[in-house]
Amino acid sequence: MDPEGYEEGLKALLGRGFHVHVILVLSREELEPNVYGDLKVVDSESGTVQEVTFGKYRLKAYQKTVNAFLEQFKNFCRKRAIGFNLAPSDTDLDQLLLSDLRKAMLWK
C-alpha cells in the first residue's frame, strides 16, 4: 500500500487499459484484533512504530475505521469495474484460487 493511498495507482492501471482485480490481504489481527492494553503497533509497509493503549472503546473505534476503509475501498473498485476480494492472511489458498477467483473469472 502506498502511504498516499491506493486510488491513483489503480486509476493509472485502468488508464493504461489493464483489467484490474484487487486482492487485499490483511491478517486476522488487523481484521479482528483481540488484544488489550499497552501495545507497540508496527506498520508492515513503512516500519513505523506507534505506541497505543487498546481498551474496549478504542477497539470498537478501530473496528469501525477498518470496516469503513473496506467499504470505501470496495465502493471505489465497484464504481470503476475493478474486481475486489478480501483475503485474510489465513485464507486457504485452494479456496482463494479454485473458488473465489474462479467466480470472478480470473482463474481457470
Q: Residues 46-83: pLDDT tens digits?
A: 888 988 888 888 888 989 999 999 999 999 999 999 99
Q: How many CA atoms lie within 13 A of 56 on its CB side?
A: 0
**Residue ranges making up the domain that contains 96:** 7-103
**pLDDT over 90, % of the chain:** 36
Residue 14 lies in a domain: yes
pTM, two decimal places: 0.79
Note the pLDDT of residue 54: 84
What's the number of domains the chain is made of?
1
| Number of continuous H segments (helices) and E segments (strands) in the chain | 5, 4
Note the pLDDT of residue 58: 86
